[in-house]
């Protein structure tokens, strides 16, 4: 979707275990949900 | 509701407001996610920066990853935080861009705006301001921002394409969009996608 809009150089960083140890952990594990940093650029 | 959207955007927005109003007013309550210093440490924020923050700046933080991990902001940059909550990422951004930069936090909740504005005054961060608005319609001129950041917000938007197009609008050509969000490795059933209660559960 980002590239469709026009963003370029899309990067995804390391996953974070966002919900580990929280009450949402069970659902997060069930669907393999993690947090990620993303970066993209609008072309000059 | 658009036929292409899994839930009604306005109804989802009200659900999100209810959840995050509680995060603002009762940050040490029971949530399905981590908040505050525990969350920031878990997500890999610079401990030296976090330790310097007063509790009010961080206690209602509920991010999902670190939007600064792929690129540190540069001095003098103009930054928009789409969905700024109680302002934690704006205060990190302010330290990175310095007094010659500018940071505009956008949030839809008056409770979060009140909290973030009070903290900005306390920290004497003149380069930070907070405005009421939605990520889908930000009160920021076209091509104003060098950088748009966001943390755990786009996953809570029913119309993600509209949100991303709005980010595109406010970014200068050559600008960076650096955000944190959640993604699932296994598909979520359609029945769950259309259940609005599960979006914030």
Least confident of B28-37, B131-140, B174-183: B28-37
Show which residues on chain A lie within 8 Å of chain B, measured between beta carbons. Answer: 1-2, 5-7, 11, 13-24, 27, 30-44
Question: How would residue B2 be classed by pLDDT, with cut points 50, 70 and 90?
Answer: very low
Mean pLDDT of B156-164: 91
Residues in B closer than 8 angstroms to A10, CB to CB, are: none
Residue of A nearest to B160 (CA): A1
**Is the pLDDT at B5 greater than 90, yes or no?**
no
pTM of the entire predicted model: 0.93
Question: DSSP string covering chain B, please?
Answer: --TTSSS-HHHHHHHHHHHHHHHHH-TTS--SS--HHHHHHHTT--HHHHHHS-HHHHTT---SS-TTSS-PPPTT-EEEEES-TTSHHHHHHHHHH-TTSEEEEEES-HHHHHHHHHHHHHHT-TTEEEEE-BTTB-SS-TT-EEEEEEES-GGG-S-HHHHHHHHHHHEEEEEEEEEEEEEESSPPPHHHHT-HHHHT-
Residues in A closer than 8 angstroms to B188, CB to CB, are: 31
The tens digit of pLDDT for each residue in B42-79 reads 999 999 989 999 999 999 999 999 999 999 999 999 99
pLDDT of residue B177: 98
Nearest to A41 among B63, B165, B174 (CB): B174
Question: How would residue B199 be classed by pLDDT, with cut points 50, 70 and 90?
Answer: low
């Amino acid at each position: 979707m980002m590239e469709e809009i026009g963003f370029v150089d899309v990067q995804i960083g390391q996953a974070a275990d966002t919900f580990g140890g929280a009450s949402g952990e069970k659902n997060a594990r069930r669907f393999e949900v993690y947090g990620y940093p993303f970066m993209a650029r609008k072309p000059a | 509701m658009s036929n292409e959207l899994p839930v009604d955007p306005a109804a989802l927005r009200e659900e999100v407001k209810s959840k995050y109003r509680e995060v603002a007013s009762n940050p040490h309550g029971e949530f399905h996610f981590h908040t505050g210093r525990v969350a920031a440490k878990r997500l890999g924020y610079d401990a030296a920066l976090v330790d310097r923050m007063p509790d009010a700046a961080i206690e209602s933080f509920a991010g999902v990853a670190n939007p600064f991990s792929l690129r540190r902001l540069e001095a003098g940059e103009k930054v928009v935080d789409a969905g700024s909550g109680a302002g934690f990422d704006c205060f990190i951004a302010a330290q990175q861009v310095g007094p010659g930069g500018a940071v505009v936090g956008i949030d839809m909740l008056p409770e979060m705006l009140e909290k973030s504005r009070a903290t900005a005054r306390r920290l004497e961060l003149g380069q930070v301001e907070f405005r009421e608005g939605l990520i889908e319609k930000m009160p920021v001129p076209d091509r104003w921002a060098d950088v748009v950041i966001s943390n755990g917000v786009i996953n809570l938007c029913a119309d993600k394409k509209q949100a991303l197009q709005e980010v595109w609008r406010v970014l200068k050509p050559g600008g960076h969009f650096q955000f944190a969000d959640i993604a699932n490795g296994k598909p979520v059933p359609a029945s769950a996608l259309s259940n609005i209660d599960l979006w914030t559960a």
